[in-house]
Chain A
Amino acid sequence: MEAGAQASWIVPAAVFTPLLGGVVAGLSGAWPETRRRLVLAAASILTVVLAGSVLVRASSGATQSVRLVKMTPQVWIHLRVDRLGALYGMAAAVLWLLALVYSFGYMADEHRLGRYYAFFMLSLAWTVGVAYSGNLLTFLVFYELFSILTYPLVVHEQTPEALAAGTKYIVYILIGGSLVLLAIVYAYFLAGAQDIGSPLLDLGMGRGQLLVVFWCFIAGFGVKAALVPLHGWVPDAHPAAPAPFSAVLSGMMVATGSFGIMRVVYNVFGVGLVRELAVMKQVAALAAFTVVFAAVLAMHQDDIKRRLAYSTISQMGYVALGVALVDAQAATGAIVHVANHAFMKGALFFCAGLIIKRLGVRSVREMDGVAKRMPVTAAAFAATSLAMIGTPPLAGFVSKWYLGLGILDSGQVAYLGVLVGGALLAGVYLLPIVYRMYFNEPAPVVEGSPLAQAGAPEAPATMLAPLAAAVLLVVVLGLCTTPAWSPLQLAKAAAEGFFR
């Protein structure tokens, strides 16, 4: 354990609380619904509190570290939290809490709730585990658990489409996972068992080998981070999954790939080595292509969740671009965009879920006049869409601003066009929906549709509350950027650490 790291029981507690919650949910098949909800909400809130206290400690610059299980004399399952991990874990905990509360309303009439909640809470545990991993082995364990054990959530509805999407998901994810495994094994071979912290690899290890490791990492995490052309699973998995899971899938899970890329670039290779290898130009080009290409495809999607899924691909392209520019400002933008995007996309998927559930429409062409029937949902969608485009003073602006500064700082000015073009295209694929919601007359109610049965179409408060909270966060993340615990300051400090 390096100097300055402090042991803390809070770190493992933040991983084990949702784990325990998941196990309890798995056993809760016969429980009354209220009790299950209370227990799960308690577990989730506790996770947020724990992750929050980890975040507060990390924001003061302290590194928290705990060794859990000895695998071999050298290799431990080891949790270690730096600023990047703390921020990522906190964002996950909060988004999961919102999605969980949303699930209470959204999933009420679904089947196999025990299974759903169990895997839902488990996936939070794995995500926090990934965030708090202290070495590559721990990272790998949590990453693979997380990748594979989310399959039941993707196919939860068990329709043929969901099953097909699930198959696609698992094939992509397993291939990506094996590449990550290969890369991590190779990295262990090169560097031995070291903790994440100062860069593991150095140029003395042979350029060819380092390149192999690097591209294996990028290809492996690129599948999860939905870098075109490895993105194929994303647009199928999102529409098939239940909305609250789509929200976390888009918000955090895809970002896990980006998080992995950050760890690779900043912690495994280190900024100096990456510059030395001169590989980031290609990654940046790929990321820029992802931004524009996915946005162009998103424009032509009719299914709203599919459109949002392509939007996620495009936005994750921004994150990858920010990492690939190898610049402190761009890194700040990339890190903070992960947190901002989580809540923006979460809120958008919450809205999409409400519209699908309450009005029974999922085609963009049928969104006419939604604002008249669901004013709160439509307002949330509009505000979040603007945030997504990067309208100040909402969250999206902060990340785009820092990405822009980073682009200029790194001297690759042409990417400014990508940044702006991607944002413009985001407007092109999101704002027509908002326009339809507000300025077109709603179609008459069809007999037998969910709308006709529901009576009052606006969602109940239990589902609107997490949506409102997400939108509030989007606003707060845009406005409060100066406190030390704010994502922007954490990201800044983290980036400074990586680029020191």
Chain B
Amino acid sequence: MHGEAGTFVSLLPAAAVALPLASATAVPLLGRIRPTVRDAFVVAVVAADLAVVAAMVPQVAEHHRIVASVPAVVGGLAFAVDPFSLLFALFAAFVWFASTLYALDYLAHERHHDRYHVTNLVALASMLGVVTAADLVTLYLFFEALGLVAFLFVVHAQTDEAKKAGIKYFWMTVIGGFALFAGIMLTFYLGGHGELAPLPAGGPAALRWTAAALLVLGFGVKAGMQPVHVWLPDAHPVAPSPASALLSGVMIKAGAYGIFRTVTALFRPEVAEHLEERAWAFSEHLGLAVLWIGVFTMFTGVCMALLQSNAKRMLAYHSVSQMGFILAGIGAAGYLGAHGAMGIAGSLFHVLNHALFKACLFLGVGAVYLRTRSLDMYHLGGLWKRMPMTFAFMVVAAAGITGVPLFNGFVSKCIIHHAIVEAADLHHIASLGLAEKVYVVTCGGTACSFIKLIGLVFLGREKVETGPEVREASPRMLAAMGLLAAAIVVLGVRPQMVIRGIFEPGLHLWGLHPDILEEYLSEYFLSWGDISSVLVAFAIGATVFVIGMRTGLFHAHLPHWLSIDWWYQRAVRGLWCASGWVADGYAAYLRSISEALHDLQNWYERARVRIERAYRRAIALVTTGVADSEARRALARAELVLEVERQDEVRTAVDRTIRLLASAGVTDEAEWRDAIEAVRDSASYIAHRLFAVRLAAVQDAVRQGHAEAVLERIDGLVADAVSTRERIAAAAFAAASDRRAGRDVVRQLAAAANAAASEERFDLKVRAATRRRPVVADRLASQAETAPSHLAGRLGWASRARGGPAAATSWRCSRWMLDMLRLAADALTRERAGRVFDTSSSEESIVLTRQAITRYARDMSFNVAVIAVVLLVFVWSVVRW
């Protein structure tokens, strides 16, 4: 389709984008030097850009389509300008120029001038980039840039209201951007190559619809389409007025441009297939959908506008409504397919016209605000005397938007109207007839709104006393508004310029027949039929105005559930809560995991402690033969007390030696040391023997079930044995001198120990204390050290009395082995412990520690023994196999 039209390569499209972008970097520098220089520079740049765009006119006229490309992002940027792109670029640059000129004075009372001007230039570059993009990637890039940069316009004032509007705008833009991204992706899937050219027919219908819906949604957010327009009435009023003019006048047209290209370029058949049956089927359905969205948008927009008292907010709602006109036109174009020339021409003409009059209206209202500091229509009045020029321009713009003949809106509204009528006639769908009625009523509402605006603000009498500061706007601002107003009138009188200059060549390029436009110009332009429909609209408007002012209808408050915005906010809040639940749930899950891990750890700890205790008990059972816990406590206590006593005995002996040595006047240090060492050794030996005897007596008593009594009395018993200490000390001293003389003293020491033991008869004392004298035990107690076999025999005898002989034998045997083991372990460990840890301290805590160490050593040796046994078994099994 584009192929034969030629591919004239021109630098101009790229230059038009690059110029403001590059100039934007210089703005802060110039601003620092001198604001007036910066202002002049900015205006000059925008004017130069307008000139660059204008320079494309002859090129496009000659070659129909000019292209440029810049190698960069993902395959490079590509620009292409056909007549429709040129139309958008022209009015964008023109309105931009007016707005920039206006902004110089308007911004005097605002802050952040540099930021405004940088935003202004970057947004201009982005806007031109959007409308001159040759492929969807380039378009998306500039579209996103435009959306993000415009955020700075919205929040420029940085009031709370502006920030709130800015946030809403930003998120809507981002969501729209992602919808667009997904839609563009899907066009690739549908066989497109990213160009603004018809997608190949075929492909799953659902995906085709999804792609179309996503594209329309993505562009529609920007365009202020219902029901995703909610940001617009908030964002446009809070921006500074020149920025509002750009936002409402130009930037939303980027969205319209996108929808226009979606409906009329992407989802239409190739030129060669125009006449094929069903070729237009999808375009028809999509067009119908867009048409109805447009009708809905225009009607609700105008209804909301009527309820506003803030002038800028009202204008913002009119932007929504007017975008509805444009969408209806585009939809009609899609629906009419090959005969859609009227729809295309009407909607694009309306895009152009709306840019001019809406920008002019915002600038005029901005001038009013600058002077009066008020935007409330009900508080203003009679300004025509004080601001006559502004009033005149406002009237021109209002005439444009309401469609008064000889003003530009008249032409485009009539063409769109014709397109809708044509669409209704095509298949005689009754509902489209309804759409036509809604269209007329909406025009009436528009008329009413602007009767209200002009009447309340400029006519009537002043409602508030104002001083001399309320005067005519400055010349530069007037010049800006004048430019726009002049364009409104020129286009209203000479619509042929655009229709013949732009639309006819553009439509021809697409293989559509522009004859119908010529027919319109000759048959219908300024004909009575069209003028009468305007009169009907004004009649409706005047009626509504009178009723509204009388009944207070304009101050009605709609219930909040009727506002789509309210539902969006609820949905967003709901989603936020839901994501919060997810996060909380996840946090709770993590907590429960960590708790479970802690539980596991605790359980493991407890299990370990329990196993260790059981193991201890088993060891204790093996070494002492006592299973009962009280008995073991008694034994442990007795062992401890006896151990302390043993230490005390040794110490007593050493003390006594020291005393003796001191009284003997020995001075040689070596002699001292030797003597003390010898005495300690001897005393240790005796005390240990005695300890063993005593412990055996206690163990005996415990085994016979006197654990409680032992526990109670053991301290007293040991305290009674103090007298033995002196005896041991004397024996040790005697033995020590023998030992130093080199004689073997073991026999002597053993005798001394036996003597001390038989002197003391600890076993008898224990028995007395426990008040039980079993004969067998009595006999055994005296030979405690060699008792085990007898003991085993006695136990065996006892059990034989109870059970059968075979069981008894095995019981006796195992019991005997157990006892042997116990004694071996006992002898082994205690002897060693005695040797290793023998110090003269008898502190109870030290003794306890020593016992713990002993126990540890015992456990370790037990473990080693177990491992050795396992190894042996293993080796044995290996060898056997």
CB pair A392–B141 under 8 Å, yes or no, is yes
> Contacts of A420 on B, CB cut-off 8 Å?
178-179, 181-182
CB pair A413–B207 under 8 Å, yes or no, is yes
Q: A19 to nearest B CB, angstroms?
A: 38
With A386-B148, A413-B189 as known contacts, state yes or no: A299 contacts B163, CB within 8 Å. Answer: no
CB pair B73–A393 under 8 Å, yes or no, is yes
Across the interface, name the chain A residue whose C-beta is closest to B158.
A439
> Contacts of B260 on A, CB cut-off 8 Å?
none
Q: A263 to nearest B CB, angstroms?
A: 27
Q: B464 to nearest A CB, angstroms?
A: 33
Q: Mark B203-238, 1 if CB is under 8 A from A, else 0.
A: 000010000000000000000000000000000000
CB pair A408–B73 under 8 Å, yes or no, is no
Q: Mark A419-439, 1 if CB is under 8 A from B, else 0.
A: 110011001000100010001
Q: B572 to nearest A CB, angstroms?
A: 10
> Contacts of A466 on B, CB cut-off 8 Å?
none
Instruction: Pick the contact of A299: B145, B207, B579 (CB < 8 A).
Output: B579
- The distance in angstroms between the C-alpha atoms of A2 and B185, with both chains bound, is 40
- The distance in angstroms between the C-alpha atoms of A400 and B141, with both chains bound, is 13
> Contacts of B145 on A, CB cut-off 8 Å?
392
- The distance in angstroms between the C-alpha atoms of A427 and B155, with both chains bound, is 18
Is A190 close to B, CB under 8 A?
no
- The distance in angstroms between the C-alpha atoms of A393 and B141, with both chains bound, is 7
> Contacts of A300 on B, CB cut-off 8 Å?
579-580, 583-584
Q: A378 to nearest B CB, angstroms?
A: 14
Instruction: Pick the contact of A479: B72, B188, B189 (CB < 8 A).
Output: B72
Q: How large is the interface on A (under 10, 10 to 19, 20 to 34, 35 or more residues)?
A: 35 or more
> Contacts of A401 on B, CB cut-off 8 Å?
74, 137
Across the interface, name the chain A residue whose C-beta is closest to B589.
A229
- The distance in angstroms between the C-alpha atoms of A480 and B70, with both chains bound, is 12
> Contacts of A386 on B, CB cut-off 8 Å?
148
- The distance in angstroms between the C-alpha atoms of A314 and B153, with both chains bound, is 32
Q: How large is the interface on B (under 10, 10 to 19, 20 to 34, 35 or more residues)?
A: 35 or more
CB pair B163–A439 under 8 Å, yes or no, is yes
CB pair B76–A482 under 8 Å, yes or no, is yes
Q: B111 to nearest A CB, angstroms?
A: 14
Q: Mark A459-483, 1 if CB is under 8 A from B, else 0.
A: 0000000000000000000111110
CB pair A297–B583 under 8 Å, yes or no, is yes
Is B186 close to A, CB under 8 A?
yes
Most A Cβ at <10 Å: residue of B73, B167, B186, B583: B73
Across the interface, name the chain A residue whose C-beta is closest to B155.
A439
Q: Mark B589-601, 1 if CB is under 8 A from A, else 0.
A: 0100000000000
CB pair B74–A398 under 8 Å, yes or no, is yes
Is A397 close to B, CB under 8 A?
yes
Is B170 close to A, CB under 8 A?
yes
> Contacts of A400 on B, CB cut-off 8 Å?
181
> Contacts of A389 on B, CB cut-off 8 Å?
174
With A408-B185, A427-B174 as known contacts, state yes or no: A392 contacts B140, CB within 8 Å. Answer: yes
Q: B250 to nearest A CB, angstroms?
A: 21
CB pair B185–A416 under 8 Å, yes or no, is yes
Is B586 close to A, CB under 8 A?
yes
- The distance in angstroms between the C-alpha atoms of A431 and B167, with both chains bound, is 10
CB pair B182–A392 under 8 Å, yes or no, is no
Is A296 close to B, CB under 8 A?
yes
CB pair B170–A391 under 8 Å, yes or no, is no
Is B71 close to A, CB under 8 A?
yes
- The distance in angstroms between the C-alpha atoms of A393 and B140, with both chains bound, is 10
CB pair B144–A391 under 8 Å, yes or no, is yes
Q: Mark A434-450, 1 if CB is under 8 A from B, else 0.
A: 01000100000000000
Across the interface, name the chain B residue whose C-beta is closest to A402.
B74
> Contacts of A427 on B, CB cut-off 8 Å?
171, 174
Instruction: Pick the contact of B73: A392, A417, A419 (CB < 8 A).
Output: A392
- The distance in angstroms between the C-alpha atoms of A468 and B76, with both chains bound, is 25
Across the interface, name the chain A residue whose C-beta is closest to B586.
A297
Across the interface, name the chain B residue whose C-beta is closest to A482.
B71
Is A457 close to B, CB under 8 A?
no
CB pair A391–B73 under 8 Å, yes or no, is no
8 Å CB contacts to A: which residues of B53-107? 71-76
> Contacts of A435 on B, CB cut-off 8 Å?
167
Across the interface, name the chain A residue whose C-beta is closest to B582.
A296
CB pair A416–B186 under 8 Å, yes or no, is yes
Across the interface, name the chain B residue whose C-beta is closest to A432.
B167
Q: B391 to nearest A CB, angstroms?
A: 37
Instruction: Pick the contact of B185: A232, A404, A424 (CB < 8 A).
Output: A404
Q: B107 to nearest A CB, angstroms?
A: 19
Is B175 close to A, CB under 8 A?
yes
- The distance in angstroms between the C-alpha atoms of A401 and B140, with both chains bound, is 12
Q: B788 to nearest A CB, angstroms?
A: 53
Q: Mark A381-417, 1 if CB is under 8 A from B, else 0.
A: 0000010011111000110110011011000010011
CB pair A424–B175 under 8 Å, yes or no, is yes
8 Å CB contacts to A: which residues of B149-185? 155, 158, 163, 166-167, 170-171, 174-175, 178-179, 181-182, 185
Q: Mark A257-299, 1 if CB is under 8 A from B, else 0.
A: 0000000000000000000000000000000000001001101
Q: B160 to nearest A CB, angstroms?
A: 10
8 Å CB contacts to A: which residues of B612-629? none
CB pair A481–B178 under 8 Å, yes or no, is no
CB pair A423–B140 under 8 Å, yes or no, is no
Most A Cβ at <10 Å: residue of B76, B137, B175, B189: B189
CB pair B188–A405 under 8 Å, yes or no, is yes
Q: B604 to nearest A CB, angstroms?
A: 16
CB pair A479–B148 under 8 Å, yes or no, is no
Instruction: Pick the contact of B189: A232, A398, A408, A478 (CB < 8 A).
Output: A408
Q: A394 to nearest B CB, angstroms?
A: 9
> Contacts of B188 on A, CB cut-off 8 Å?
405, 408
CB pair B148–A391 under 8 Å, yes or no, is yes
- The distance in angstroms between the C-alpha atoms of A420 and B185, with both chains bound, is 11
> Contacts of A416 on B, CB cut-off 8 Å?
182, 185-186
With A413-B189, A481-B74 as known contacts, state yes or no: A296 contacts B579, CB within 8 Å. Answer: yes
> Contacts of B189 on A, CB cut-off 8 Å?
408, 413
CB pair B74–A397 under 8 Å, yes or no, is yes
CB pair B73–A479 under 8 Å, yes or no, is yes
Q: B427 to nearest A CB, angstroms?
A: 33
> Contacts of B166 on A, CB cut-off 8 Å?
439
What are 24 contact pairs spanning A and B, CB under 8 A? A232-B590, A296-B579, A297-B586, A389-B174, A390-B181, A391-B148, A392-B74, A392-B137, A392-B141, A397-B73, A398-B74, A404-B185, A405-B185, A408-B188, A413-B189, A416-B185, A419-B182, A423-B181, A431-B174, A435-B167, A439-B158, A439-B166, A479-B72, A479-B73
Q: A389-B174, A405-B185, A420-B182 are in contact. List 12 more A-B contacts (CB 8 A).
A: A296-B582, A300-B579, A390-B181, A391-B148, A401-B137, A408-B188, A416-B185, A424-B178, A431-B174, A439-B158, A482-B71, A482-B76
* Top 3 A-B residue pairs of the complex, sorted by shortest distance between their CB atoms: A300-B583, A408-B189, A392-B141
Residues on A close to B: CB < 8 A? 232, 293, 296-297, 299-300, 386, 389-393, 397-398, 400-401, 404-405, 407-408, 413, 416-417, 419-420, 423-424, 427, 431, 435, 439, 478-482
